[in-house]
Chains A and B, each alone.
Chain A
């Protein structure tokens, strides 16, 4: 008997039973649901505005609530970022709120670390415990430190956490992003400084170097909307879209032309295009002529062999791009390769022009008096390598971890984390890192907490979006910022002085009102009530057309770091290249516990409920592999066992694994599903800059893998016959 069947038989499937059973007429007792109270009249929907927390993009949402339950999330139709739309992740937000595997309240460890034995404690007890640990940090010792690790670089947590750590003498506020693409505000994500956006909608010719703007890059919903307009709306010609990426992502699948260069050589494609534009004098910005000599070595004739893109294609695309009415290049390449993309935009001179790169000039004014929304400049950015180095220097005594799961992102870090004497986790779920914690102080879900988020819509300016509770608390959780405030009060002295707030709510209300006041609504109270109802406020700026005047402004040194070679060395024992990518919904693996997303067929492979290895059918044939065969992907660092998925949209001799599955904790939906490819790469590579690539080999293992697809499984049947 299957597990599921047993469950049904034994009647543990209690929900369905209570929903559907007729015995004893449960309906008769439901009467409390028909009594109105101050908040809800039964049978009437109440929509509450907030901000999506499923990625940093900051889409506005409205949540439909009824009878004290939230039952649908929709995009806020007035929000300038997403204009009513919402992506698959955002739609699944309620499954975070109502997830059966949420941590119900504060706990402390009673067994050995990782034993999973916990004792429920009160909030006061938990905060006291953490405060005592922080007090133990020796302010005089150079290498004694407390650490606050998070993925938030802005917002209430960052504001409070940062101040507390500063006040905590040796405290360090650490931001540790895994995938840099989504909404990260730092330069390497776009090649430009923060607040830069791209006017896709009005562009007529778009080249994307690995920027999966329809799935995961930057602000997917905003750029999807722009893409819709780019493809044609009344009165606009249909834009042409070229995508450069070794694996056909969903974004690539939408391109008019897909170029699949050798992994890691995307920047050479960009430079090759630039070289053609310069040598054929197709550039528009006057300063561009100066690049003539420097680009010589990147001529497509030189690089075609490395990139595996024919020269003629370079020349044709370069001409098309340069001659297009409003060309635009975007990219998601390693920071040191991004200048190649920036260069293309420079050559066609599209800065602050319709359909080009929009670089707001007044962006420093946006934040108004509210500095909490500004990206913090004094945080430490961490990757595994840096962590290991820093670990040698500092004897971290206390590690506080918030919205981040390093043990999953970089499994090798586990041992090092275990050496830290005291770990407090603020996780909402029991993830791999929280399992090692000594104290768990669970945070609210995004629909229960207070926060402010800033984002930059293509319409210009900045939008501040409010995250506010849309429904009463589901568990005995507390917002981390509130916990930190309580902590500061408990610590007293400097810490208490640095954080003179009652609650996160107060900070948010004050910050939001300040912002609104700065941008046109002087009455703080009206400002706040408007904001709470609409969910956002905007600072508006018209983009001023701008042009690069001289070569110096182009920062020509950008090219110096680039080398004319493939990204990976040949390795005779490991003839293939393995890469991991951020899949449509899986993010950094933190959505693996949402059943609606687990059962969402991957748009390209149609696979669900698991992980897989994408292999080109040609390569598979040469390795004697069939679809669904279990294979070991091995690198010099590690190996994973996953089912092979024959995928025509990947370069031969490259294998790709989606990141996000393979949890060893994290609740019933995520645990023990697929494998975590992070172990394939040296820990240094799981840093923030690049989706990792490595030399690899694929060995057939015994047995068939569990590869579940929604669409048909057979390769030959995937093709459209009709």
Chain B
């Protein structure tokens, strides 16, 4: 990342090691539970309205028996030059000073323009009001909004955990450091394939890994400058 540090605010970034990712989807469920993502049910899912802020894209290469598979966890890339941001007519999605691509639900009017302009297809729309059969609603995370119908939603890098981590650092009178903020997907990753941290801090794990020669970003040629960095498969 070449852009200058404009402030002493952290810039959050994620590193995903594709060599370690097994496609087990623990992150997908962890994200659903942490972020109050509703299950839409079979009829809606069949229409392509299932919501998964993080998903495992699976690609086959070759044919039996020489078949190869690639798993690729895809979540909001929190692009520095996010294509979704300029198109929103009401600033419901914008860039925060911590480099996050924010989605403010109660400002969203639901033009879905941002979703159309997202090259990673990581934005989701609430076609109906979400529904949890009681008492499943008891498991809702009180730190995360329940989105209403008509608004977009997407990965927030677990903003509630970022806020909590920053709060903790402030309490202890120091800058945030590795381990203060662990998003739900990173926390549960069964192979420790995901890392999260402040890429503006040269000492952080993500900074170090982002300089790896295996590092690349999705659709780099579009110039979106994603803040999710993938470490390609070794071998």
Contacts from A to B (Cβ < 8 Å): 2-4, 8, 13-16, 19-20, 66-67, 69-75, 84-92, 94-95, 97-100, 214-215, 220-221, 224-225, 227-228, 231-232, 238, 248, 250-251, 253-254, 256, 258-260, 474, 584-585, 595-601, 603-604, 606, 608-610, 616, 618, 648-652, 668, 673, 706, 708, 710-711, 718-720
**Min C-beta distance of B215 to chain A, whole Å:** 14
B residues in contact with A74, CB < 8 Å: 30, 184, 187-188
**Min C-beta distance of A198 to chain B, whole Å:** 16
Contact of A13 among B52, B64, B131 (CB under 8 A): B131
Contact: B128 with A710, CB < 8 Å?
no
Cα of A395 to Cα of B66 in the assembled complex, Å = 55
Cα of A114 to Cα of B187 in the assembled complex, Å = 44
Which of B4-12, B40-48, B75-83, B87-95 forms part of the interface with chain A?
B40-48
B residues in contact with A19, CB < 8 Å: 137, 146
**Min C-beta distance of A32 to chain B, whole Å:** 14
B residues in contact with A254, CB < 8 Å: 22-23, 69, 71
Cα of A370 to Cα of B23 in the assembled complex, Å = 39
Asked if B223 is at the interface (CB within 8 A of a chain A CB), the reply is no
Cα of A250 to Cα of B190 in the assembled complex, Å = 14
A residues in contact with B130, CB < 8 Å: 16
Contact: A99 with B58, CB < 8 Å?
no
B residues in contact with A718, CB < 8 Å: 58-60
Contact: B190 with A221, CB < 8 Å?
yes
Asked if B96 is at the interface (CB within 8 A of a chain A CB), the reply is no
Cα of A488 to Cα of B117 in the assembled complex, Å = 67
Contact of A601 among B25, B46, B131, B235 (CB under 8 A): B25
Cα of A248 to Cα of B66 in the assembled complex, Å = 11
**Nearest opposing residue in chain B for A74, CB measure:** B187
Contact: B191 with A75, CB < 8 Å?
no
Asked if B173 is at the interface (CB within 8 A of a chain A CB), the reply is no
**Min C-beta distance of B182 to chain A, whole Å:** 9
Asked if B39 is at the interface (CB within 8 A of a chain A CB), the reply is yes
Contact of B192 among A85, A595, A673 (CB under 8 A): A85
**Nearest opposing residue in chain B for A14, CB measure:** B134
Cα of A649 to Cα of B132 in the assembled complex, Å = 36
In the A-B complex, the 9 residue pairs with the smallest Cβ-Cβ separation, listed nearest first, are: A228-B191, A720-B59, A224-B190, A253-B69, A91-B29, A609-B42, A595-B39, A100-B133, A603-B23
Contact: A72 with B34, CB < 8 Å?
yes
Cα of A123 to Cα of B129 in the assembled complex, Å = 40
A86-B30, A94-B33, A228-B191 given; A67·B142 CB < 8 A: yes
A residues in contact with B204, CB < 8 Å: none
The dominant DSSP class at the B interface is loop
Contact: B69 with A599, CB < 8 Å?
no
Cα of A14 to Cα of B24 in the assembled complex, Å = 34
Cα of A92 to Cα of B184 in the assembled complex, Å = 13
Cα of A67 to Cα of B71 in the assembled complex, Å = 39
Asked if B198 is at the interface (CB within 8 A of a chain A CB), the reply is no
B residues in contact with A70, CB < 8 Å: 138-139
**Min C-beta distance of A61 to chain B, whole Å:** 11
Contact: B33 with A20, CB < 8 Å?
no
Known: A3-B43, A98-B139, A228-B190. 12 other contacts (CB 8 A): A4-B43, A8-B131, A86-B190, A91-B30, A220-B190, A227-B20, A232-B234, A238-B234, A253-B71, A584-B25, A599-B39, A600-B25
> Would you give the 0/1 interface string for B93-123, flagging 1 where the beta carbon is closer than 8 Å to chain A?
0000000000000000000000000000000
**Min C-beta distance of A695 to chain B, whole Å:** 21
A88-B25, A100-B135 given; A606·B65 CB < 8 A: no
**Min C-beta distance of B27 to chain A, whole Å:** 8
Contacts from B to A (Cβ < 8 Å): 19-20, 22-26, 28-30, 32-34, 39-46, 50, 52, 55-61, 63-65, 67, 69-71, 128-142, 146, 148, 184, 187-193, 234-235
Contact: A231 with B234, CB < 8 Å?
yes
Cα of A517 to Cα of B32 in the assembled complex, Å = 41
**Min C-beta distance of B13 to chain A, whole Å:** 20
B residues in contact with A97, CB < 8 Å: 139
A residues in contact with B64, CB < 8 Å: 260, 616, 618, 648-652
Contact: A603 with B60, CB < 8 Å?
no
Contact: B42 with A87, CB < 8 Å?
no
**Min C-beta distance of A721 to chain B, whole Å:** 9
**Nearest opposing residue in chain A for B190, CB measure:** A224
B residues in contact with A260, CB < 8 Å: 64-65
Contact: B26 with A86, CB < 8 Å?
yes
**Min C-beta distance of A683 to chain B, whole Å:** 30
B residues in contact with A13, CB < 8 Å: 129, 131
B residues in contact with A66, CB < 8 Å: 142
A72-B141, A600-B25 given; A708·B40 CB < 8 A: no
A residues in contact with B19, CB < 8 Å: 231-232, 238
B residues in contact with A16, CB < 8 Å: 129-132
Contact: B131 with A15, CB < 8 Å?
yes
A residues in contact with B137, CB < 8 Å: 15, 19, 98
Contact of B24 among A73, A248, A250 (CB under 8 A): A250
B residues in contact with A608, CB < 8 Å: 45, 50
Contact: B20 with A228, CB < 8 Å?
yes
Cα of A17 to Cα of B50 in the assembled complex, Å = 21
A72-B34, A100-B136 given; A649·B60 CB < 8 A: yes
Contact of A606 among B29, B58, B191 (CB under 8 A): B58
Cα of A452 to Cα of B50 in the assembled complex, Å = 38
- Choose among A260, A595, A610, A651 the residue with the greatest number of B CB atoms under 10 Å from its CB: A595
A601-B25, A648-B64, A720-B70 given; A228·B45 CB < 8 A: no
A residues in contact with B33, CB < 8 Å: 71-73, 91-92, 94, 596
A residues in contact with B39, CB < 8 Å: 595-596, 598-599
